[in-house]
Amino acid sequence: MSETFELRSGETHIEVYKFLPGAVVAVTVAALVFQASVPVYFSKLEILDLPLLVTVYFGLSRRNPSTGLLLGMVIGLSQDALSGPTVPLGFYGIAKTMIGYLASSIGARLDTEHPAARFALIFSFFVLHQAMLGLIRRLLLAQPETWFNLHLAIAAAVNALFGTVLFVALDRLRRSS
Amino acid sequence: MVAIASKHKSLALLGGVLLAQILMLAVQIKRDSRGRLIRVWAISAAYPFERGGAWGYGKVRGVWTHYFALQTTSRENEALRMENDALKLTIAQLQSRAAEADRLAALLSFKQSHQEVPMAGARVIAASAGTASRTIEIDRGERDGIRRNMAVITPDGAVGKVIEVYRDSAQVLLLTDKDGGAGAMLVESRIQGPVGGTGDPTMLMKYVASEEKVNVGEKIVTSGMDKIFPGDIPIGTVMEVKAGYPFKQIRVQPAAKLDQLEAVIVLLTQAPVEFKKDADTQNAQTGAQPSEPGAQNPAARAPAAAKKP
């Protein structure tokens, strides 16, 4: 079932999706576990940021900024907690809170169902996420951090590509109308 | 409208969540030398207010102290003024005591330099009550060996004679009294004549013939002829000479400060006293050998020699 709400008068109708019970929690936990454990065995997969992709997906789908930022905060803080003592609580939390809020806000205005749009959005959110992490690391932690380089560009492209595929899979968790 | 309210609500929620996480980060982050970041922020945030508060408190206190709390200042000023008056009084007393000490030291020095002459130091305890007479009262009397007609002097010169003796005090008639006087002699011309008081601070030398030459500034000493004062004790200085017939009118400035007497010496004998000069007195004080009597004043040597048999 899909529900349709008129978010802004005079504009096209944007659908707000709901998911199967427990889907959001299960996907979030799975993403965090994957991020924490799989790179131990497959270091190449470290380039993926599944918690970020999940945050972006549910933000774009739910299209509610409050829900999006709270989900981003929970995911980010969980990632902080799983990242060991060298990462202070709030490091990923702040960045993913912002990403969740922005994804929800953009999702409420744009059609984010098209794969190309999803690729561009994921790429942009990855870059923005890295920029915010760099900002936090520089300003709050007083640690040197590279703003952007080729590795990050490749990581953004890989995550965007993988996210586009992942989003299609996650679409199956949407509650049918 | 609902969308706008929802947007503001979500923005507020975003701000709150971000702020909470930033604060959480600040609690965890520890800078090397400045402690935890939350403490650095707290201190940095509070510093302007603390500084502003301190500045404001200083200003208010300054205004209160300099403008409204003048009552305390006035009291302090009054207390300081009283203290200043008391200190002035103390200084005056100390100066007086120092002057008295100087006078007593001079008397002691005089006594030490004339140890062969029996004498007694005395303190002036009273003066004549009226202007009709010039007398003083001293704190030495019959028990101290004081007798009538004993000479009273100071290191500066002759003062007067004892006219009344009581058990513990005595009355001294000053040379400046109308009835006071002493046998005198001009040091340079060796002219003799009595010097007596007029009731004024100055004295007159009488019976000096008009043809005698007397110079202003000439010293006058006792002649020893009055059987009261030994010879050669300074009496005064000629301050004015007027022609007269058959005698000159010679006004004399007393050598002793008769209006500032506080301590005197009573000569317990009428034997001749050799009144030493200042240099000799200083020599006596320093223990040096005194010079020969009259060596510095040939004029003074003559009468002393004349008295010798």
ipTM, 2 dp:
0.76
- Distance (Å) from the alpha carbon of B26 to chain A's nearest alpha carbon: 7
pLDDT tens for each residue of A106-147: 887 887 888 999 999 999 999 999 999 988 888 888 777 777
Q: Which of B175, B176, B275, B277 is nearest to B226 (CA)?
A: B175
With 0.80 as the threshold, say if the pTM is over it: no
Do A140 and B14 make contact, defined as CB atoms within 8 angstroms?
no
Domains located in chain B, CATH noted: 120-286 (2.40.10.340)
Query: Residues of B127-142 as b/e, b for ≥16 C-beta within 10 angstroms?
Result: eeeeeebbbbbbebbe
Mutate to test the interface with A, among B6, B8, B9, B10 (most CBs of A within 10 A): B10
Q: Which residue of A has its CA nearest to B41?
A: A140
Confidence band (pLDDT; 50, 70, 90) for A156? Answer: very high
> B91 is written with which tokens?
């200084």
Work out the angle at residue A147's Cα, subtended by the Cα atoms of residues A142 and A149, and round it to the nearest 5 degrees: 140
Residue A171 has pLDDT above 60, yes or no: yes
Answer whether residue A160 shows pLDDT above 90: yes
pLDDT digits (tens, 9 = 90+) for B174-214: 999 888 899 999 988 889 999 999 878 899 999 998 888 88
Residue ranges of A 49-88 with Cβ closer than 8 A to chain B: 64-66, 69-70, 73, 77, 88
Residues of B in contact with A70 (CB under 8 A): 13, 17
pLDDT value of position B231: 84
Query: Closest by alpha carbon to B122, among B166, B154, B157?
Result: B154
Rounded CA-CA distance A42/A123 in Å is 23
| Partner-chain residue, chosen from B9, B18, B25, that has the shortest CB–CB distance to A140 | B25
Give me the residue from A89, A98, A104 closest to B24, CB to CB: A89
Res. A57: pLDDT tops 90: yes
User: Can you tell me which residue has the tokens 């000569």?
Assistant: B267
Which pLDDT value is given to residue B194? 94
Q: Which residue has the tokens 């019976």?
A: B207
CATH of the domain at A154: 1.10.1760
How many Cβ atoms sit within 10 Å of the Cβ of residue B45? 10
Task: Among A7, A97, A99, pick the best mutation site for testing chain B contact (most B Cβ within 10 A).
Answer: A97
At residue B153, the pLDDT reads: 92
Amino acid at B106: A
Mutate which of B25, B36, B41 to disrupt the A interface (most A C-beta within 10 Å)? Answer: B25
- Answer whether residue A4 shows pLDDT above 80: no
B229, B147, B217: which is closest to B184 by C-alpha?
B229
List, for residues A8-18, the tens digit of each pLDDT value.
Answer: 434 455 667 78
Give the number of C-alpha atoms closer than 13 A to the C-alpha of residue B26, restricted to the C-beta side: 15
Q: Which residue has the tokens 């010496």?
A: B265
- Per the structure, the count of domains in chain A is 1
Q: Return the percentage of chain B with pLDDT > 90, whole number.
A: 23
Is residue A2's pLDDT more than 50?
A: no
Predicted confidence (pLDDT) per residue in B121-173, tens digit: 898 888 776 666 788 889 999 888 999 899 999 988 999 999 889 888 898 99
Q: Please list the residues that pair with A19 across neighbouring strands.
A: A174
- What's phi and psi for B31, nearest 5 deg? -75, 155
CA distance A36 to A75: 13
How many angstroms separate the CA atoms of B198 and B213, rounded? 23
Token pair 């060991």 in the structure block, residue = A84
**pLDDT beyond 70 at B306:** no
Tokens of A107: 């999702």
Domain that holds residue A133: 2-173
In angstroms, rounded to a whole number, what is the distance separating the alpha carbons of residues B231 and B151?
A: 11
